[in-house]
Amino acid sequence: MSIKEVRKKLFGQILLEKRLVNEKQIESALEMQQMNGKSLGKTLVESGATTHSLILEALSDYLNMDIIDLKKVELEPDIIEKIPPSVAQLYRVLPIAYDGNTLTLAQEEPLNIEQMDDLRFLLKYDLKAVLVEQELISDCMDKYYPGQHESIEALMDTFENYTPEEENRNTTESSEIGNLENLVDNAPVKSFVNLILLQAISDKASDIHFETFENEFHVRFRVDGMLLDEIPVPPQFANGIVSRLKVMGNMDIAEKRVPQDGHAHVTIRGHHVDIRISTLPTKHGESIVLRILDKNSVSLDLTELGLNYQDLNTIKHLMKKTYGIILVTGPTGSGKTTTLYASLNFVRSSGKKIITTEDPVEYDIDGITQIQIHSEIGVTFANSLRAILRQDPDIILMGEIRDLETVEVAMHASLTGHLVLSTLHTNDAPSTITRLINMGVKPYLITASLTAAINQRLVRKLCPECREEYVPDKNIINKLRIPESVLGEKHFYRERGCSKCNNTGYKGRLSILEIMTINDEICSHIIQQSSTETIREVARRNGMRTLLESGLNAIYNGQTTIKEVMREVA
C-alpha cells in the first residue's frame, strides 16, 4: 500500500484494525488533539493508549517501510553533509544512508508527501523514507548538527543560486497566471515561507510584514508590540512569496490592483495556527501583513496575564456577578480581547451558557458558543445580541461596542439577568462615562447597567536573564513624581539584551490596569453629567489606581522599565 493510499485511510482506522487501540481511545485522543495540536500518534502515546514501537510497527506493515533504531545507528560525516543544516532543521530530516543517487531519510512526518517532493527538488537526489521514533529526531539533530538552527540567512545561502524562470512580459493573461502558479509551487519559496512562519511562531510574533520596495524585499516581525529590524530577502523571491501567501489565503493571485483579505489555517511543527492575511497594492508591488493567531502562545489564564494581586482579585470578583455590563477599554493592541477571553475562561463551567459575538473570532474556546459577525448580510453586533438573548445565555461577550444601537441593546440585556462583557476605545477608565454619553446613552441607563470600566495597556516585561540595576535620572523621577522615600527602598532596572530575548532586553508583556468600579457616589456624578476629571477624582478617592500608578508598581517589582511605562502611559 502506498503512502497516498494510507493518507486517504484514516490513521486511526489503521490502529483500530491492528487492535492497538479501541474506538473510545481514538475518540478521546481526537478531542485532546484539537487542544494540544499534536499528532494523533503522539497524543495516543502520551495518553497511555499505546506505545511508539507499536505505532511504528503498524505503519511499517501498511507502508512496507523499514524501521530504523536511531539509538543503534552512527551516521557518517559524509552522509550528514548530504543535507545542508538549514534544510535538515527546517524539515526535521536526517540522512541515514546513501547508495548510488538514492538518499535514505528519517523524518518527523513520514506521511508528508509534499515535504518529500520539496526535498527531492532541493537535494537533487532520489529519496527513500524510513520510519523512526519521532522523539529521537531532536536528539540526533543536536548530535549531528550541533549549534545549527534554522535561520533565514542560512536558508538564503542554500538557495543562493536559485533563479525563478523569467516571466515573459508579453505573455497572455492565462500564461502569466500559469507562471505565478509555478512560482507558488517552487520548493525554495515554500521553504522560505514555512521558515518565516516557524520563526514567527518561535519568536511569539503577532504580525509578519512583507514589504516590497523598488530594489528590496523585507520581512519584519512585530514582537511584544514592537516591529523588529527587517530581514532582507533576495528580490527574486518577492513574486513567489507574494503569490504563495495569496494562495494560502484563497485570494486571486493575478489581481494586484486592489487590496485583498484572506484567511489560512496551517500546521507548523505541531502548532495549529490561524492566519489573517491582508494585501495592499503599493508603488513597487504588494505589501502583505499576516496576523498570527497562535492559541498556544496566548495564555487564557487570568493568573498569567501579569496582573497584580489586587487587580486579579477585583476581576475575579466582577466575573462572579450574574448581571451588569463590564467594559474593557483602551487603544487597539492593548490586550483587551485577551483579558476578556481569560475572564471568560475563569468562569467557564458546565453550569453556564456563554455566547460570544466577535469580528473576527480570534481564538476558539472549548465550551463557549462563538458567533462571527457578517455585517454585509445583516449579522451585526446588535442583531446578533438580540438573537443571543433568545438562546438563554448566562454570560455574553460582544467583541466591540461601535454604535448607540449596540450599546443600548447590550445594556438592556445586562438589566435582564445577563452578565455582558465588551470593549470600547477610550484613553482611561473614567472617560468611558463621557464616551457613552457622547454616543447618546442616557445617564440613568449607564448607572443602572454599568458595573465596571477597566482601562488597559500592555508593557514589555524585562528579560530576567539580562536586566541590569541602575539609578534613574532625577528629571525622570520628578516627572513621574516618585517619592524620595521610594528611591531608597526600591530597585530600578533597565533593559540590556541577550540571546534569550533576541537582544531586545524584553521578553513577553504584562497588563497594567485602571479599574473603576461603579458605586453610588460615582452614579450620582453620572446623573449630574459631571466632568471626566471630577469622576476620576471620585474614583481615586474610592480606591481606583491610575494606569501610571499600576505601571509604577510594575517598575518597583522589577517587571518592566520606566521607559516602557512612559511610552504607554505618560
Tell me, what DSSP letter sits at residue 379?
B
Q: What is the tens place of the pLDDT at every residue in 103-117? A: 998 887 776 777 788
Answer whether residue 73 is part of any domain.
yes
CATH of the domain at 210: 3.30.450.90
Amino acid sitting at position 251? M
Residues 446-504: pLDDT tens digits? 999 999 999 999 999 999 999 999 999 988 888 888 887 787 788 999 999 998 888 89
CATH of the domain at 338: 3.40.50.300
CB-CB contact of 244 with 184 (8 Å): yes
Residue identified by cell 451588569 is 324
Residues 21 and 131 in one domain: yes
Residue 127 has pLDDT above 60, yes or no: yes
- With 0-12 CB in 10 A as exposed, 13-18 as middle and 19+ as buried, what is 390? exposed
Does 338 lie in the same domain as 264? no
Q: Is residue 345 part of a domain?
A: yes
**Is the per-residue pLDDT at 174 higher than 60?**
no
Residue that the C-alpha cell 467583541 belongs to: 399
Residues 206 and 229 in one domain: yes
Distances (CA, A) of 237 to 94, 159, 190, 196, 219: 27, 10, 10, 13, 12
The Cα angle at residue 271 between residues 268 and 275, in degrees rounded to 5 = 75
pLDDT score, position 189: 81
Residue 158 in any domain: the answer is no
Structural domain ending residue among the three candidates 129, 147, 165: 147
Q: How far apart are CA 204 and CA 270, in angstroms?
A: 15
- What mean pLDDT is reported for the chain? 85
If 0-12 CB within 10 Å is exposed, 13-18 middle and 19+ buried, where does residue 449 land? buried
Are residues 277 and 346 both part of a single domain? no
CA 506, CA 511: separation in Å to the nearest integer? 14
Q: Is the same domain home to 240 and 277?
A: yes
| Cα 96 to Cα 220: distance, rounded to the nearest angstrom | 36
CA 411 to the chain's CA centroid: 31
* Residue 95 to residue 110: CA distance in whole angstroms: 14
Q: What percent of the chain has pLDDT over 70?
A: 88
Please tell me whether residues 413 and 290 are part of one structural domain: no
Give the pairing type, strands 492-494 and 205-212: unpaired
Q: Is residue 487 included in any domain, yes or no?
A: no
- How many domains, in total, are found in the chain? 3
Predicted confidence band at 172 (pLDDT cuts at 50, 70, 90)?
Answer: very low
- Only one residue has cell 484539537, namely 34
Contact predicate 386/420, CB 8 Å:
no
* 417 and 336, same domain (yes or no): yes
Instruction: Give the C-alpha separation, 433 to 531, whole Å.
Output: 9
Are the beta carbons of 240 and 286 closer than 8 angstroms? Answer: no
The verdict on residue 563 lying in a domain is: no
> Has residue 139 been placed in a domain?
yes
Q: Which helix (H) or strand (E) holds 509?
A: strand 506-517
Biggest CA-to-CA distance, the chain: 88
The predicted-structure confidence for 283-318, as pLDDT tens digits, reads as follows: 989 999 999 987 766 667 888 888 999 999 999 999
Is the same domain home to 337 and 272?
no
Per-residue burial over 248-261, b if 16 or more Cβ lie within 10 Å, else e, is bbebebeeeeeebe
- Do 313 and 427 belong to one domain? yes
Kindly report, residue by residue over 58-79, the tens digit of the pLDDT.
Answer: 878 877 888 888 888 888 888 8
What is the reported pLDDT for 440? 96
Q: Is residue 157 part of a domain?
A: no
Q: What is the DSSP letter of 532?
A: H
Residues 245 and 353 in one domain: no
pLDDT-derived band at 170 (thresholds 50, 70, 90) equals very low
pTM for this model (two decimals): 0.74
User: Which neighbouring-strand residues pair with 291?
Assistant: 207, 276
DSSP string computed for 76-107: -HHHHTTS-HHHHHHHTEEEEEEETTEEEEEE
Rounded to 5 degrees, φ, ψ at 97 are: -155, 160
Q: What is the pLDDT of residues 382-408, one digit of tens each?
A: 999 999 999 999 999 999 998 999 999
List Cβ<8 Å contacts ≥24 apart for 229-232.
231/152
Question: Which of 136-145, 269-278, 514-523 is most confident?
Answer: 514-523
Contact (Cβ atoms closer than 8 angstroms) between residue 385 and residue 394: no
Instruction: Give yes or no: residues 450 and 328 share one domain.
Output: yes
CB distance 455 to 335 below 8 Å? no
Domain that holds residue 253: 181-294
Question: Is residue 476 assigned to a domain?
Answer: no
φ, ψ for residue 366, nearest 5 deg: -60, 135
Residues 238 and 247 sit within 8 Å (Cβ to Cβ): no
| 5 has a pLDDT exceeding 60 | no
Interval 43-72 mean pLDDT: 82
Task: Tell me, yes or no, whether 325 and 261 share the same domain.
Answer: no
pLDDT greater at residue 244 or residue 115: 244
The label of the residue with cell 516585561 reads 461
The domain that holds 129 is classified in CATH as: 3.30.300.160
